[in-house]
Amino acid sequence: MNKNILGIDWGTSNRRAYLIDQSGACLAEHEDGQGMLAVGGRDKFGASLAGVLEAMQLPSDVPVIMSGMVGSASGWQEVNYLDASVPLEQLPQHLSAVTDPAWAGRSYIVPGYVYRNGASADVMRGEETQLLGAVALGHRDGWIVLPGTHSKWVLLRDGVIQSFATYMTGELFAMLSKGGTLSAMMDGDTSDAEGFATGLNQAAQNEPLSNSLFRVRAGVVSRSAAPQQAAATVSGLLIGAEFAAAARAAEGQGITVIGSPALAARYDLAARHFGLKCTVLDPHQVYCTAISKFLKA
């Protein structure tokens, strides 16, 4: 029997694969643009997965654990959400077997989570695997922040999700950059420290976000603000809006961020601006740690 396991974080636009051994060590990595949208339909996922094994030169019997949008209604096969009350460490007992005959018995999909609060609900797919890795690394309590296209703020208590909220931060930034009245001034450096701080300062005032965004344009066209700082200011506004909404609940506890170095650096700056301590975890280490838990289950 193959003693290693292939974990695939299959997102909407991108796909990352990690070959993991029993200790959680990463033996090989692969990344490509074959996210859910690029696959081209439910009947193409099997061939797309075969392409990963071929690219990584892996044997056909390697067990495969997939998380993310591969389990959505538009993915390979829809996997029902788990209720937030199910402990993260029980995820290995809730895998959904792939029904495609060519992959049956060796390929599984991790379910996402749903959090219900009265009549409202929030969902995640993919982040639950990173949360499992964080728990395995000892981060069982407190606020975990997973920045990205749809940023998640998750409150854990002894490895169980107490609540979470999603912010469309990355998606909004992408939309504002590609179209609309702000797009022409969004080609500056998003890491510009002064512009980012300006956005954070405005977000801390808790003024309506749509008004604050328009004032970025007004500042540029009135020559009151540097056009090269507009992108960083918008980034600060959007990330700051997350903190303005959630930072009070995390006061005194701090946050743990799981994100790429560039994103984590911005969230660390925002955390300090809002008076929060910030711990950063490497997303690759977190994911590999989680996948090793599926191997041992």
Give the domain ranges of the chain.
5-117+125-137+287-296, 169-281
On the question of a common fold for 5-117+125-137+287-296 and 169-281, the answer reads yes
CATH number at 169-281? 3.30.420.310
For 129-153, what is each residue's pLDDT tens digit? 999 999 999 999 999 999 999 999 9
For 173-190, what is each residue's pLDDT tens digit? 999 999 999 999 999 899
Proportion of the chain above pLDDT 70, given as a percent: 99
- Is 60 exceeded by the pLDDT of residue 25? yes
For 94-141, what is each residue's pLDDT tens digit? 999 999 999 999 999 999 999 999 999 999 999 999 999 999 999 999
Place 3 in a pLDDT band, splitting at 50, 70 and 90. confident
* pLDDT confidence of residue 273: 94
The residue type found at 77 is Q
Place 252 in a pLDDT band, splitting at 50, 70 and 90. confident
Whole-angstrom distance, CA of residue 179 vs CA of residue 126? 28
Fold exhibited by the domain 5-117+125-137+287-296 = Nucleotidyltransferase; domain 5 (3.30.420)
Place 251 in a pLDDT band, splitting at 50, 70 and 90. confident
Place 2 in a pLDDT band, splitting at 50, 70 and 90. low
- Is 60 exceeded by the pLDDT of residue 17? yes
Proportion of the chain above pLDDT 90, given as a percent: 91
Give the chain as a DSSP string. Answer: ----EEEEEE-SS-EEEEEE-TTS-EEEEEEES--HHHH-SGGGHHHHHHHHHHHTT--TT--EEEEEGGGSTTSSS--PPEETTS-GGGGGGG-EE---TTTTTTEEE---EEEEETTEEEEESSHHHHHHHHHHTT--SEEEEE-STTEEEEEEETTEEEEEEEE-HHHHHHHHHHSSTTGGG--S-TT-HHHHHHHHHHHTTT--HHHHHHHHHHHHHTTSS-GGGHHHHHHHHHHHHHHHHHHHHHTTT-EEEE--HHHHHHHHHHHHHTT--EEEE-HHHHHHHHHHHHHH-
* pLDDT confidence of residue 31: 96
* pLDDT confidence of residue 113: 98
The residue type found at 200 is L
CA dihedral 149, 150, 153, 154 (to 10 degrees): -110
* pLDDT confidence of residue 297: 66
For 287-297, what is each residue's pLDDT tens digit? 999 999 988 76
Place 253 in a pLDDT band, splitting at 50, 70 and 90. confident
- Is 80 exceeded by the pLDDT of residue 1? no
